[in-house]
Amino acid sequence: MANDKLRLGAGEHTYEAHHDWGDPPDRIRWGNCHAVQVDRQGLVYVHHTVHESSESDHAVVVFDPTGSFVTSWGSQFAGGAHGMQLVREGGDEFLYFCDIRRSIVQKTDLSGNVLLTLGFPSESPAYERDEARRTANWKPTNLAVASSGDIYVADGYGSSFVVVYDRNGRYKTTFGGGMTEEAGKLNCPHGIAIDARSGQEEVLVADRANNRLQYFDLDGNHLRFAEGVDLPCHFDFGADGVLLIPDLAARVTLMDRDNQVIAHLGEGLPDYRERRLLHREHFLPGKFVCPHGACFDHDGNIFVAEWVEIGRLTKLARI
């Protein structure tokens, strides 16, 4: 029988929390766990910054659906691992990464071979031309890819713009920025997704510092807001149209197709920023500390990657 203390949610959205899921080898010690994705085979990819005490500097760790270690790679992302998005292109799958240490975006195959690199958006008139300030002004945190292949990069820790490229990495346009609450402006666009649940693709942005979600059309024109979040970090979509949002403020939010809140899962304590630095004995069973990335698997279970020391991966098994 499941431990009721580790049950989250209600009704058809009830889950059992399995903290510290996955069995990495001793040579790998989690840094901040920033992102998690699941491929069509059910393999689970974790993107972490690599702890200073880790023998291995691999920032991408792969598990099978049971949590057994499969492989690891991605030394180049150590210290900068942030966003990670799995994208299906035709019959193939690829991973896109945001590296906040090197201030780049990279596309790889599922074995880590680099296929595309995007650096500072020098073609965008929105960005400072001063060579010495390039890194400070450009720190991409997450990205999304439209069905056209266009790549939408959220510069969450840089200048708060969304920079758009075509499938080959050619610059197209820039929108957002401003760091104000005005419609169409963004302040730490930490996460981004292409929301096609209505039958039409729209750009959904986690406007984190403004504590809201903001929708744009594919050309970057503001459409509307959605509320009910608390420092939203990123997104995923379930097969049933449920929107999954890791809220940095110690919870995971589920919304329906109309972006009405279904549940806040695992709501933790208000001291999450201090608690994230403490040892595991200070974490509460069934409660989150700092969810930073999350995704569904093919059975409707949820994986949550947390921005804590040492990083944590939780599986929410659907009951």
Per the listing, tokens 């169409």 go with: 184
pLDDT tens sequence across 211-228: 999 999 999 999 999 999
pLDDT band at 130; cut points 50, 70, 90: low
**Domain 4-318 in CATH 2.120.10.30:** yes
pLDDT of residue 131: 67
Mean pLDDT over 156-166 rounds to 98
C-alpha 250/C-alpha 216 separation (Å) is: 27
Mean pLDDT over 292-298 rounds to 99
pLDDT band at 1; cut points 50, 70, 90: very low
C-alpha 238/C-alpha 148 separation (Å) is: 21
**Which pair of tokens denotes residue 171?**
């610059």
Domain boundaries, the chain: 4-318
pLDDT at 4 exceeding the cut of 80 = no
Name the pairing type of β-strands 92-99 and 81-89: antiparallel
Tell whether omega for the bond before 310 is within 30 degrees of 0, i.e. cis: yes
pLDDT tens sequence across 10-44: 999 999 999 999 999 999 999 999 999 999 999 99
C-alpha 22/C-alpha 235 separation (Å) is: 22
Q: Torsions phi, psi of 270, nearest 5? A: -70, -10
pLDDT at 5 exceeding the cut of 70 = no
Q: Are 161 and 146 in contact (CB under 8 A)?
A: no
* Phi-psi map region of 250: left, alpha, beta (phi>0 left; psi -120 to 50 alpha): left
Q: Specify the pTM.
A: 0.96
pLDDT tens sequence across 50-100: 999 999 999 999 999 999 999 999 999 999 999 999 999 999 999 999 999
Tell me which amino acid residue 107 is. Answer: K
Helix (H) or strand (E) holding 304: strand 302-306
